[in-house]
Amino acid sequence: MRAFEYANPSTKAEAVALLEGGDAQPLAGGTDLISLMKDNVVAPSRLVNLKSIEELQGLGWEDGGGLRIGAVATLDELVADEQVRERFPSLVQAVDGIRSPQLRTMGTVGGELLQRPRCWYYRGGFGLLALRDGSSMIPEGDNRYHAVLGNDSGAYFVNPSSLAPPLISLGATVRIIGPDGEREIPLADLYRTPASEAEREVALEWNELLTDILVPDSGTQNATYEVRQKESLDWPLAAASVALEMDGDVIRSASVVLGHVAPTPFVAVAAQAALEGQSLDAETAQRAGSAAVEGARALSQNGYKIQLAMVATKRAILRAGGVEV
């Protein structure tokens, strides 16, 4: 690991000022960043600690029933809240899949949303697009865990966040602060697919911070279902998060977001359309699962992820409806 400065600001404004210059990085739990530094994938000249900033800590319920999550609130803090467990089981189920006590204790919600891709080409220092002589190495390389959706633009990594799919399905927004002040955007708009190595996979400038995640409480029935290769610490092979607005036994509206199958959390518009106006049963869930992977394009070794995404979608829908899966 290369030498670096360490800064410990107490306010958001101080943190933003310390990020100026483009060679500094914010430090929250450090569960991802420190690994990247040890592997020399990133080498910031300065780390800006965020955990001493009171404005970024904790979580609470705002007027109107919505949930505010501070960016440095830990995963354990999130799932320990009784109202979160009652109203947002999809978030709890996503965190429950993170089996490492150390990651849950140290890892922050903001850091989980902004962790870098787990692609071994990127982690090996080949960049987000894994280019060699102007072409991606992934289609002809080891692509077992790469994208099957949204992979037609040259980006093949998958978004690694477990919390992004349920939060997007719940309609979450995020607050961001930078030198020009604060802004608020839908969480779905935080993610983007880079078209070149000069671009990032998130819509944050280097001198901007994610400060809060805001989750409206719309009374939906919601759930997450993830498929992993092993029960111990592992990232999902495919995941689906669902939020359903019900009118009796009929689905009035639906939000379906897939994880770990595309460079961004994948909003399955076709699956949502397949659910709306339908009864919540196994047949409807099966149709929606098939619709969720319309347009999927497998690489040489990852076709199995299409089936897993279908199954995850079906089971998330049934779980949201109270059916044990």
pLDDT digits (tens, 9 = 90+) for 214-249: 999 989 999 999 999 877 677 899 999 999 999 999
Tell whether 272 and 206 lie within a shared domain: no
Type and span of the H or E element at 73: none
Mean pLDDT across 75-95 = 96
182 and 257 in one domain? no
62 and 118 share one domain: yes
Q: What is the mean pLDDT of residues 139-150?
A: 97
Q: What percent of the chain has pLDDT over 90?
A: 90
Residue 229: its pLDDT value, please?
85
The whole-angstrom separation of Cα 204 and Cα 215 is 20
The average confidence (pLDDT) of the chain is: 95
Q: Are 189 and 288 part of one and the same domain?
A: no
* Residue 200, number of CB atoms within 10 A of its CB: 12
β-partners of residue 212 are 70, 175
Q: Please report the pLDDT score of residue 64 as a whole number.
A: 76
Residues 195 and 100 in one domain: yes
In a shared domain, residues 128 and 264 = no
- Examine the domain organization and report whether 183 and 262 are in the same domain: no
Q: Whole-angstrom Cα distance, residue 136 to residue 119?
A: 13
Residue appearing with tokens 């994880």: 259
Average pLDDT (16-27) is 91
Q: So what's the pLDDT on residue 63?
A: 78
**Domain CATH for 234:** 3.30.390.50
Residue-wise pLDDT tens digits, 105-134: 999 999 999 999 999 999 999 999 999 999
